[in-house]
A and B are shown apart, each in its own frame.
Chain A
Amino acid sequence: DGGITQSPKYLFRKEGQNVTLSCEQNLNHDAMYWYRQDPGQGLRLIYYSQIVNDFQKGDIAEGYSVSREKKESFPLTVTSAQKNPTAFYLCASSMVGPDTQYFGPGTRLTVL
Chain B
Amino acid sequence: KNEVEQSPQNLTAQEGEFITINCSYSVGISALHWLQQHPGGGIVSLFMLSSGKKKHGRLIATINIQEKHSSLHITASHPRDSAVYICAVTSKTTGSARQLTFGSGTQLTVLP
Contact = CB atoms under 8 A, between A and B. Distances in A.
Contacts of B97: 48, 50, 56
The number of chain A residues touching the other chain, given as a range, is: 20 to 34
Interface string A61-98: 00000000000000000000000000010101010111
A40 B98 CA distance: 24
A33 B99 CA distance: 9
B106 to A, nearest CB: 11
Contact of A101 (B2, B41, B100, B105): B100
Contact of B42 (A40, A42, A94, A105): A105
Contact of B41 (A100, A102, A106): A106
B85 interface: no
A31 interface: yes
A53 interface: no
B99 A48 contact: yes
Contacts of A11: none
B99 A103 contact: no
A94 B48 CA distance: 13
Nearest to A50: B97
B51 interface: no
Interface in A31-55: 31, 33, 40-45, 48, 50
Contacts of A42: 2, 4, 86, 88, 101-105
Interface in B39-55: 40-45, 48, 50
Interface of A: 31, 33, 40-45, 48, 50, 56, 58, 88, 90, 92, 94, 96-106, 108
8 contacts: A42-B104, A43-B100, A44-B102, A45-B99, A45-B100, A48-B97, A103-B44, A105-B40
